[in-house]
Amino acid sequence: MSGELAGKTALVTGGSRGIGRGIAQRLARAGALVAIHYGSKRDAAEATTRDIEAAGGSAFPIGCDISSPQQIKAMFGGLDDEFRCRTGATGLDILVNNAGVAVIGHLQDYSEADFERQFGTNQKGPFFVTQNALSATAR
**Domain range annotation of the chain:** 9-137
Mean predicted confidence (pLDDT) in 78-107: 91
What is the average pLDDT across 119-137?
91
CB burial readout 85-114, b (16+ within 10 A) else e: eeeeebbbbbbbbbbbbeeeeeeeeeeeee
pTM for this model (two decimals): 0.91
CATH class for the region spanning 9-137: alpha beta
**Cα gap 30→131, rounded to integer Å:** 26
Task: Quote the CA–CA distance of 25 and 9 in Å, as a whole number.
Answer: 13
Q: What is the pLDDT of residues 56-83, one digit of tens each?
A: 999 999 999 999 999 999 999 999 999 9
